[in-house]
């Protein structure tokens, strides 16, 4: 895992928003997080842990410290962290719960914590795929992405202040709890608990299987009814089952006395090989006791089932013989009953035949009556048609007479041709009146239209008067606004001039700002020139001193090159009796040359500084001249008074006085500009109003013209409408000619007369038509009577029968025929005809024999059913007993392995001689790996003095419990083992650091090889001496060289000198903190 960027706001002592780019910060592999104690260094660690897991780094820290008390009340606190793992780049943002101001009213309201997790395409991407917005989901998801829980994270990536030293000083039991949470060995403990529970379950299974076996034995004994079965087998040869005597009697042939009444002849001998008086084997088999611990429990039960099945087979054979005898008795009794029934049935049929013969003659007469009614049916339609036609004719004559009584005598007196002519005349007259009727009906609408036109004309006249008044008012206002354009022009000119003055004042302020910056730079350059001159003088002094010292020791320098037999380079002598001695601090040519180069460099730096100072002075003079040029503007309001005699010369230019003058002039220019803007706005408003009034005046002229044209049009329309109305009334009066008050009344009178004529003509036509139809029906009736053989209409009507009477007669005839036919067929059937002259059988005797056979068969069948049920139930219970016995054996066999394994993992049995549980064993192996990884670093940091050793003895005064996770320190200098708490502060720090780094290595290996790209170490460096600090820093350097970015949290001054890249945390005057990243 590698951190990219952390952004926090309103968190801890940080009131504002701060961003830390760990990529830039960690390019060298090592950076420092430094600042005063309590300034907020550990808050950055807490922010990282909170952003990932929603918790703080320290176990005892409260989340209340997250929300900054220095931030504004409405500022949202948040932590945003961008990090990268093997699965991608992610950004998590969390906001802790805090109190925010209410949106309405005073006071505060709780704001719930929130979180968002986003997958990014790259660390600088602004948007990405939102994975979750639920805080309770993001923590587990990040644990999955990172591969570490919070506990593992603070032990591997973030080593918080005071936390990683706890592991060194912890006792065995405390260390066990910590290792258990880091390595997740709880699943080993769950396995052990599961095995122990399985052992208990196995024991319960054995007890349950034994109890089930006992219940199976009891069920078998109950199903086999062993007590009753033993009694039955014991008395098998002494008693004969009830009903066997009757059974033997039924089965025997008539006259057979050998077996009749002898039950022993039908009883089979089950054991013919057993002498009288000896106990039968079946009784011994049934008497065997059944116990769960019996050696051959299933075999004994199987043999008992065999005995019961043999006895059930014997009883079934006896019951079968009884059922055969019963069937023969039933057949005999059924034959006797059938014969008796046939004889009785023949006698009944003979009696029925005599009764049927009495109705033969009446039924014949009824048949003739039905035939006459059938002939009458053939003329029924003709009779009905004649009657209907006669009735219709009489109805039409009566209707015509009634109509003539109610109609006008003049109309009744008309013949058929006159009626037709009058109807045609009235129809033509009504058709010609239709158009005139429309004119009369529209009279009221025309009156309303005339009134509406008059009203609309009056409305137009009123609007013309209003438009004239409005034009008068607008003309007066336009005259008052005639001078507005001139005022607007003057105000715009003045506003533009004042605006230019304000802009020029801003330009002069900018120039003054550059003058101030130039003064500040000149001050710095002057210091640099002074320092460079001092350094140059010192370099000259050093060079001069070295040259003088070399000249003074030149004899010794030359003497070092003298060789016996070689001439001296000064005097040429080959002998050198007393060569000069060279002083130990004599400078050689290289030292003089180096001093010369240093002096030249110092002089060059001094000249460079002087040149930079001269350039800065020239720049300041140019800026002053530029300011004076800007101030020399007679038309500029802000320039007036901005310079005086004290600022006209560049040498004596006073920026402070010039700035004060510019500020005063700028204020005056701004005031004049504001006044000009107000005047211009008022004048522009008046100009706009004048333009609007001109447009309204033109619109008013157009409106008056339109209304005048509308009035002329309305006047013409009103006159035309009045003409049309008068013409319509004249045409209506001509049609009426005084015959009625209105055309509608006249039309109604004509319509009534036309209706009377139409009804009279229709009635006369109906009477004529029905006379014709009555004559036709009479001819048809005469022909039908002749065909049916009736003399006249009365004879046909007398022969007719209604539906109910005829149906009753036909049913009586059919019923007599059916009974007569059925009686004859029954008497002729073989069953009835064959018993003629046969005597009646003795049915009571056969019934008695059947009852005896049924009783014997019932007794034998019941006995067989009891035996069969007992044998079947016993066989099923025997199968269940065998299964229960197998399950009991399986439970005992399977429990053995589970019990042994549970004894081993729980260290409760003799199988585990070490008495170490499975979870503790795993922790021991992991702890040994941690100690080995820690010792690899501790040997280097302690110079080979200290080594961590795992011990089975618990630290502290109590040694009653041994968990194998105790820790001692082996001091190779004294060859003794020490308590970790006896180490000094510095020794404790680097020993704890080694143990924490070793723990981090093992934890990451256990987490599937999680890549730890970033590591934080919080405090503890102040307790180290320089030599040990060098060793620790070298070890941290090796970590960073291996690809990790190591962040060291410390306020030790020496750390600042060693590490260049840093995060500087500083307190502000208000108590809050700020940070600065130097990368």
Give the separation between CA 657 and CA 575, rounded to whole angstroms: 84
Query: How many whole angstroms separate alpha carbon 309 and alpha carbon 304?
Result: 9
Asked if 554 and 571 touch (Cβ cutoff 8 Å), the reply is no
| DSSP string computed for 404-442 | HHHS-HHHHTS-HHHHHHHHHHHHHHHHHTHHHHHHHHT
CA pair distance 239, 764, nearest whole angstrom: 118
The helix/strand/coil state of 983 is: coil
Q: How far is CA 340 from CA 41, 334, 353, 828, in A?
A: 125, 10, 21, 18
User: For the chain, what is the radius of gyration of the CA atoms?
Assistant: 69
Phi, psi of 1065 (to 5 degrees): -105, 125
DSSP state of 67: B
Give pLDDT, residue 635. 55
Name residues whose C-beta falls within 8 Å of residue 725's C-beta, 6 or more positions apart in sequence.
Answer: 443, 446, 447, 450
Q: At what angle do helices 843-906 and 244-251 cross, to 10 degrees?
A: 130
Tell me, what's the pLDDT at 272? 40
Per DSSP bridges, beta strands 2-11 and 78-85 are: antiparallel
Structural contact between residues 863 and 236, judged by C-beta atoms closer than 8 angstroms: no
Neighbours of 118 (CB within 10 A): 19
Phi, psi values for residue 528, rounded to 5°: -65, -40
The structure tokens 């990040």 sit at 142
Q: Are 654 and 512 in contact (CB under 8 A)?
A: no
Count of beta carbons in the 10 Å neighbourhood of residue 519: 13
Return the SS3 of 83.
strand
Query: What number of other Cβ atoms are within 10 A of residue 637's Cβ?
Result: 22
CATH topology for the 1-147+1010-1079 domain: Rossmann fold (3.40.50)
Closest CA to 638 of 672, 615, 610, 608: 672
For position 555, what pLDDT does the model report?
Answer: 73
Distance of CA 874 to the CA centre of its chain: 60
Compute φ and ψ for 911, nearest 5 degrees. -65, -30
pLDDT at 246: 35
Residue spans of the domains in the chain: they are: 1-147+1010-1079, 175-181+916-1008, 222-342+842-888, 484-672
pLDDT of residue 1063: 92
Q: Give the span between the Cα atoms of 1073 and 1066, in whole angstroms.
A: 6
Tokens of 88: 């991608």
Residues with Cβ within 8 Å of residue 1, at least 6 apart in sequence: 83, 84, 85, 146, 147, 148, 157, 1010, 1011, 1012, 1013, 1014
Strands 158-159 and 1014-1018, bridge-based pairing: parallel
How far, in Å, CA of 998 to CA of 967, rounded? 14
Q: Which class for 150: exposed (0-12), middle (13-18), buried (19 or more C-beta within 10 A)?
A: buried
| Nearest Cα to Cα of residue 654 among 665, 663, 645, 646 | 646
DSSP string of 46-59? HHHHHHHHSS-SST
Residues in the chain predicted with pLDDT less than 50, given as ranges, are 237-279, 641, 644-649, 955-961
**Among residues 874, 995, 855, which one has the least CA distance to residue 935?**
995
Give which of 637, 655, 638 is closest to 646, Cα–Cα: 655
| Beta-bridge partner residues of 129 | 119
Query: What single-letter DSSP state applies at residue 241?
Result: P
- Predicted confidence (pLDDT) per residue in 601-625, tens digit: 988 888 888 888 888 888 888 888 8
- Predicted confidence at residue 128, as pLDDT, reads 92
pTM confidence score: 0.39
Exposed/middle/buried for residue 796 (C-beta within 10 Å: 0-12, 13-18, 19+): buried
């Amino acid at each position: 895992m590698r951190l990219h960027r952390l952004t926090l706001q309103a968190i801890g002592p940080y009131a504002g928003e701060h961003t830390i780019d760990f990529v830039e910060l960690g390019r060298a592999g090592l950076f420092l997080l430094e600042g005063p104690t309590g300034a907020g260094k550990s808050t950055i660690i807490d922010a990282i842990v909170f952003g990932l897991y929603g918790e703080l780094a320290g176990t005892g820290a409260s989340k209340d410290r997250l929300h900054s008390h220095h931030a504004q009340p409405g500022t949202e606190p948040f932590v945003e962290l961008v990090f990268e793992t093997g699965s991608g780049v992610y950004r998590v943002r969390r906001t802790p719960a805090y109190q925010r101001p209410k949106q309405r009213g005073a006071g505060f309201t709780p704001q719930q914590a929130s979180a968002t997790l986003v997958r990014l395409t790259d660390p600088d991407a602004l948007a990405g795929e939102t994975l979750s917005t639920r805080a309770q989901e993001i923590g587990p998801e990040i644990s999955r992405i990172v591969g570490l829980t919070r506990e593992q994270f603070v032990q591997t990536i973030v080593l918080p202040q005071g936390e990683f030293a706890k592991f060194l000083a912890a006792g065995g039991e405390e260390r066990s709890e910590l290792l258990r949470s880091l390595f997740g060995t709880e699943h080993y403990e769950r396995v052990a608990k599961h095995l122990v529970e399985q052992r208990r379950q196995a024991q319960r299974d054995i007890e349950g299987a034994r109890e089930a076996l006992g219940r199976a034995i009891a069920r078998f004994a109950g199903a086999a009814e062993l007590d009753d079965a033993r009694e039955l087998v014991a008395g098998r040869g002494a008693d004969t089952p009830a009903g066997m005597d009757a059974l033997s009697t039924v089965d025997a042939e008539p006259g057979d006395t050998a077996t009749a009444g002898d039950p022993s002849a039908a009883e089979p001998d089950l054991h013919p090989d057993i002498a009288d008086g000896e106990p039968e084997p079946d009784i011994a088999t049934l008497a065997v006791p059944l116990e769960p611990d019996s050696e051959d429990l299933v075999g004994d039960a199987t043999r008992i089932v065999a005995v019961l099945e043999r006895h059930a087979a014997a009883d079934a054979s006896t019951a079968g013989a009884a059922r055969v005898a019963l069937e023969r008795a039933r057949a005999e009794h059924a034959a006797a009953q059938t014969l008796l029934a046939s004889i009785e049935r023949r006698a009944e049929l003979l009696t029925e035949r005599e009764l049927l013969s009495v109705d033969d003659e009446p039924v014949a007469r009824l048949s003739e009556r039905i035939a006459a009614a059938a002939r009458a049916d053939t003329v029924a339609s003709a009779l009905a048609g004649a009657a209907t036609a006669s009735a219709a004719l009489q109805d039409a004559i009566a209707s015509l007479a009634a109509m003539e009584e109610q109609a006008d005598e003049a109309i009744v007196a008309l013949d058929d041709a006159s009626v037709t002519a009058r109807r045609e005349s009235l129809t033509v007259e009504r058709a010609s009146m239709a158009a005139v009727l429309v004119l009369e009906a529209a009279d009221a609408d025309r009156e309303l239209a005339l009134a509406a036109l008059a009203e609309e004309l009056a409305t137009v006249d009123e609007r013309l008067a209003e438009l004239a008044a409005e034009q008068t008012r607008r003309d007066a206002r336009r005259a008052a606004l005639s001078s507005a354009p001139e005022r607007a022009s003057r105000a715009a000119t003045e506003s533009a001039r004042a605006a230019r003055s304000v802009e020029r004042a801003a330009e002069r302020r900018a120039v003054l700002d550059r003058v101030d910056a130039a003064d500040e730079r000149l001050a710095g350059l002057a210091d640099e020139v002074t320092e460079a001159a001092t350094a140059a003088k010192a370099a000259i002094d050093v060079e001069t001193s070295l040259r003088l010292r070399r000249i003074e020791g030149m004899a010794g320098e030359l003497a070092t090159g003298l060789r016996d037999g070689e001439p001296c380079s000064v005097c040429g002598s080959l002998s050198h009796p007393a060569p000069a001695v060279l002083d130990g601090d004599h400078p050689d040519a290289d030292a003089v040359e180096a001093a010369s180069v240093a002096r030249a460099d110092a002089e060059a730096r001094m000249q460079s500084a002087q040149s930079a100072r001269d350039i800065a002075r020239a720049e300041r003079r140019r800026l002053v001249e530029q300011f004076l040029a800007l101030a020399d503007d007679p038309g500029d309001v802000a320039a007036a008074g901005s310079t005086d005699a004290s600022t006209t010369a560049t040498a004596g230019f006073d920026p402070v006085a010039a700035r004060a003058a510019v500020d005063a002039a700028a204020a005056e220019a701004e005031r004049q500009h504001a006044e000009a803007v107000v005047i211009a706005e008022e004048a522009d408003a008046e100009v706009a109003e004048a333009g609007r009034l001109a447009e309204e005046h033109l619109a008013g002229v157009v409106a008056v013209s339109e209304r005048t044209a509308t009035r002329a049009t309305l006047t013409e329309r009103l006159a035309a409408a009045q003409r049309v109305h008068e013409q319509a009334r004249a045409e209506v009066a001509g049609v009426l000619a005084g015959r009625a008050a209105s055309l509608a009344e006249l039309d109604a009178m004509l319509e009534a007369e036309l209706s009377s004529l139409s009804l009279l003509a229709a009635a006369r036509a109906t009477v004529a038509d029905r006379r014709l139809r009555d004559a036709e029906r009479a001819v048809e009736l005469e022909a039908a009577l002749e065909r049916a053989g009736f003399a006249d209409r009365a004879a046909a009507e007398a022969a007719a029968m209604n539906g109910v009477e005829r149906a009753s007669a036909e049913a009586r005839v059919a019923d007599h025929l059916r009974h007569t036919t059925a009686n004859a067929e029954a008497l002729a059937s073989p069953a009835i005809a064959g018993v003629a002259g046969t005597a009646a059988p003795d049915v009571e005797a056969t019934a008695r024999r059947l009852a005896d056979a049924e009783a014997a068969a019932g007794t034998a069948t019941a006995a067989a059913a009891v035996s069969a049920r007992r044998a079947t139930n016993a066989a099923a219970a025997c199968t269940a007993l065998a299964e229960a016995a197998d399950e009991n054996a399986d439970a005992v066999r399977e429990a053995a392995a589970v019990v042994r394994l549970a004894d081993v993992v729980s260290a409760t049995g003799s199988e585990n001689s070490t008495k170490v549980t499975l979870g503790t064993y795993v922790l021991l192996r992991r702890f040994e790996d941690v100690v080995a990884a820690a010792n690899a670093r501790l040997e280097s940091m302690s110079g080979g003095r200290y080594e961590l050793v795992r011990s089975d003895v618990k630290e502290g005064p109590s040694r009653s419990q041994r968990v194998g996770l105790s820790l001692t320190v082996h001091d190779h200098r004294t060859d003794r083992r020490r308590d970790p708490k006896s180490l000094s502060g510095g020794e404790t720090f680097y020993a704890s650091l080694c143990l924490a780094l070793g723990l981090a290595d093992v934890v990451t290996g256990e987490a599937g090889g999680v890549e730890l790209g970033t590591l934080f170490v919080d405090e503890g460096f102040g307790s180290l001496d320089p030599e040990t600090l060098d060793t620790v820093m070298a070890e941290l350097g090796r970590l960073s060289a291996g690809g990790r970015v190591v962040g060291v949290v410390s306020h030790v001054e020496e750390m600042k000198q060693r590490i260049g890249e840093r995060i500087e945390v500083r307190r502000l005057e208000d108590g809050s903190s700020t940070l600065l990243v130097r990368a």
